[in-house]
A and B are shown apart, each in its own frame.
Chain A
């Protein structure tokens, strides 16, 4: 199997690099965490990567608006290099703050604004998959956690129409397994059209608010101790993986599709 190489951006308050790296490594990729300033100083490192990740976090403390300051810096100093990277047959993902960053930098359309509750929310959500992004191949439904204060997807009508026409609204909040179990509303933040994630560049770029890297093991599920009883009482082995791992597997498999 070919091992695709992943570069995970860091710095200025991004904070989920380690678990994202672990998720990629666990499915056979090689991964490096590199500070934004180091990439600006030596953008050629991107030439060696097949996958770029803008991970979750709190870049610049969300001051002046989530993802804005990091997105500006990215666009100004690495805008062309990212374009060059995407001109190859590569993948890019922006998770949570990473999603906010790549919309701010104009890599994906739309914006993430404050949750309707005007408060940070940490909980699990259920996502319905649409479209045909390689990141989401073979997944129909998926339960993963969110943790954000500005996760409401907003875009003007015409942008939403374009996204729909291009089949680029790839993840929607729905009332699924965890929302039903915990009796919680499906849409945690008031996102337009229940949008949790969108794609661009023919599905190769995925931006999403939820955190698949925090849902890679069974024991990360919010109700695993309840599910466990079912397995144990029926004499079955406990599963080890969580639903989010498939996204990372898909990314690695994309480079092994021949």
Chain B
């Protein structure tokens, strides 16, 4: 029986106004005059008429809304109605909540095949043509996850039930690998029976063939999929792990892990690392009682297809890396980063030659990813104090979406009636423990996610690769774990169901106990009809796998029930040294753990030094004379300007831990660092900062990586951190990694990571890589297009400080304060923000503009040490790292933030920069701009002895920024700078 409940607003409706606003902005010439919205709930369940009426009332706020169970109420006059609902099987959070409300109202649970589906009707008034209504519908939905139906006025609204009906095979098949190399290659590329790529190199396919030949049988599809999954680039990080040129141990072991080992050794007793590289997050000591964890992930390919779903999943997914650290850390902060194309770029691109599968416009990708972190972070009650947007055409094909989560975990559980305290940051599943799947149910979502992200985005990209996160289901899971089950000692191990779903989590945990046996028919499904390999590989969200001792299962289950969290025992950890999977009693997978985890053939990789495009040292400017205009232009670009529209829609105050805000000073300028106070009874703080410089990859990836680290470190120091207590995380997002030239660039950047991290003594504690950020498709003329993302490294810094009341913000504070520049300004305009500005700003250049900034770690370490000391002594009133856009932008930001003027003389700077352009816009690393009260001048200068320090001016009352340069002067009113700074995303 199917019924429909319609709820509409009887007062002014902001949602309807927002639709109208969006459409009017995009289609200014249309005759659209008004919009109204009806929320519909399609109830596919046995419900009596009076019960339905009662349910409708529950779904309606009588003060502001009216409901109907008979029909969809329409406005008196309208031209078109558009119904938007989800496609079958897509996560429908509103539908789920409606179902729970109705169940509560009826006092009984729905049956497995009973559902509630949400959809929305948008009624449009005015003179609108059919073609226009179609364009509106296209704008308002994403065909990969949603359906939209356009109805002309007067047409009936048929009831649509997006029930999942699976017709595919549900048995397990044997796969014959005794075929030609060509066939093996094809199977790897297209998958078993065209299911989606296995993405394994031929050598791996052959090893699998040999393994099963020895066993005298063919592998099942479950086994083959499972191996592809476990051996994927996404999971095994093969490019970082395998030998590259002369580096036999691979670049990860030599440069990333190697740096950390060396730093920890040098630090000796001052080593603060506790658990690095081995768990779902990295952890450092916070104090005697607590550890703080951090992990940053990317979710790029799915975000290219469904930006909203992709980015919700990015953030709730990385939250589980926090919940899955040790026995469970509490998420205390989220961070984000969006690398996208300019949203104003209207270039059309297609995934297929026939132009049936358009890429979403750049604007909608940014809108979608912003909304995704809004939903995921806000609904989870985790503050989002830090993030960035980086814009470059190379991100048009595949956006990069970074999501990070910081966690807090006690070192030990409380000793109590249940026994003595135990370490919470270590875990081990034991033979005999139940394998428990916790949280959401399993559907087709995200199948082949891991193998898919090991490939580039193209027409064959599977639509099921998209998941939509459900933050509330996960929040319930998080509450029951962190508030109760963890400290009660009810489980021995836990990990996230991320890439590869159960195959990944169970496969990984089986190594702890020495084996596992799973009965797939026990896994609760969203809908019937899934084949065993699908259940085993599905990446349906909000799930974690736990090892629960038999004797504790009933106590554990009781907690789950009270929290309304689904928990199912699906098997047992063993010591059989095998991973055995059965379906209705029949074995569908039986693989030795050793082969599953260690059987992958190591591949010797070779790199080739690419054609050198070193910056041309003779280029020191672009012949621009109107430097003031150049500065305003720079501030009004998306890479430098304000992203306050994001900062203000992400809750950064929840949990009450915020110390320095994402928007700082009267003028609300975005900061590149944030400080938190995680415990209300301790003054200790956590500093978070980020650094990235992808444009430098155009010249030199070594310089890019060094600058990314230096920037993250510098931003952290400016916020109050110190080099003694600072750790970093690396996220490599590369492209075309099959090319030896790209591998050379990768090797160089990894080497820079080692050199720079070791010099600063900042260990890597966690990292991740995504190696194929390529788009291969077609332009509007049907021509082949390949867009490769710039080799990008996001460095995230995390440090601990003794006293949050010493934290620093970037805004000038008081008139009369002295302004200092720390560090040298060199002729380093190569690949700078200045050189990437549009042509009309000055002479177009054939190259990237001179030398790329190089990092002098020796000088910088000394400078950073002095700044930390000065801040701790209370001698500094404001500090900002000088980065993108150079000194001119730093001066403008501190002035705009403080809404105070500044008078600066830049004619006597330290360093090689001599031209006005280079002085203003060079992005030389290691620099900071500080303001210091006059009363502290003497002591400050003493602390900075031996550091390149220049007093460049002072904070002034008149609202203007006035800069003295060799043979030039820039003078701009604060109002113009403020306006430019806020202009790019002003109407977002």
Contact = CB atoms under 8 A, between A and B. Distances in A.
A16 B681 CA distance: 17
Interface string A46-74: 00000000001110111111001100110
A21 B680 CA distance: 11
Contact of A110 (B63, B563, B935): B63
Contacts of A213: 656
Interface stretch (B146-154, B445-453, B658-666): B658-666
Interface of B: 9, 11, 13-15, 17-18, 21, 39, 58-59, 61, 63-65, 93-94, 96-98, 100-101, 104-105, 118, 374-375, 378-381, 470-472, 475-476, 479, 483, 562-564, 647-661, 664-666, 668, 677, 680-681, 804-805, 807-809, 811, 813-814, 874, 877, 933, 935
Contact of B380 (A15, A122, A181): A15
Contacts of B118: 63
B312 to A, nearest CB: 11
B379 A123 contact: no
A111 B13 CA distance: 13
A238 to B, nearest CB: 6
Contact of A229 (B15, B97, B666, B877): B877
B650 A122 contact: yes
Interface stretch (A131-139, A161-169, A195-203, A220-228): A220-228
B648 A73 contact: no
B472 A122 contact: no
Given A121-B648, A225-B807, A216 B562 contact: no
Interface string A104-140: 1000001101111111111100000000000000000
Contacts of A69: 97, 100-101
A76 interface: yes
A120 B377 CA distance: 12
B101 A72 contact: yes
A181 B562 CA distance: 46
Name the residue in B39, B65, B118, B661 with the highest tally of chain A Cβ atoms < 10 Å from its Cβ.
Answer: B661
Contacts of A110: 63
A35 B475 contact: no
B658 A147 contact: no
B870 to A, nearest CB: 14
A196 to B, nearest CB: 16
**Most A-side CB within 10 Å, residue of B13, B63, B476, B804:** B63
Contacts of A10: 479, 483
Contacts of B9: 113
23 contacts: A10-B483, A14-B381, A35-B479, A35-B563, A37-B564, A56-B654, A58-B381, A60-B100, A62-B379, A111-B63, A113-B11, A113-B14, A117-B14, A119-B649, A121-B649, A122-B651, A123-B648, A145-B653, A214-B658, A216-B680, A219-B677, A226-B666, A229-B813
A255 to B, nearest CB: 23
A156 B63 contact: yes
A193 interface: no
A43 interface: no
Contacts, number: 191
Contacts of B935: 233
Given A35-B563, A63-B93, A69-B101, A229 B814 contact: yes
A124 to B, nearest CB: 8
A19 B677 CA distance: 12
Contact of B656 (A33, A214, A233): A214
A241 interface: no
A26 B680 contact: yes
User: Which has the most chain B C-beta neighbours within 10 Å: A76, A111, A113?
Assistant: A113
Contacts of B11: 113, 154
Given A16-B655, A19-B655, A219-B677, A72 B58 contact: yes
A118 B677 CA distance: 31
B39 to A, nearest CB: 8
Interface string A1-21: 000000000111111101100
B85 to A, nearest CB: 14
Given A69-B101, A145-B653, A63 B14 contact: no
Interface in A143-178: 145, 147, 149, 152, 154-156
Contacts of A145: 653
Nearest to B483: A33
A182 B654 contact: no
A127 B98 CA distance: 35
Nearest to A14: B381
A83 interface: no
A119 B651 CA distance: 12
B660 A225 contact: yes
Contact of B61 (A62, A68, A117, A190): A68
Contacts of A12: 472, 476, 564
A33 B563 CA distance: 13
Contact of B476 (A13, A56, A233): A13
A119 B650 CA distance: 10
B59 A19 contact: no
A221 to B, nearest CB: 10
Contact of A61 (B379, B483, B809): B379
Contact of B94 (A15, A64, A154, A226): A64
Contacts of A11: 476, 479, 563-564
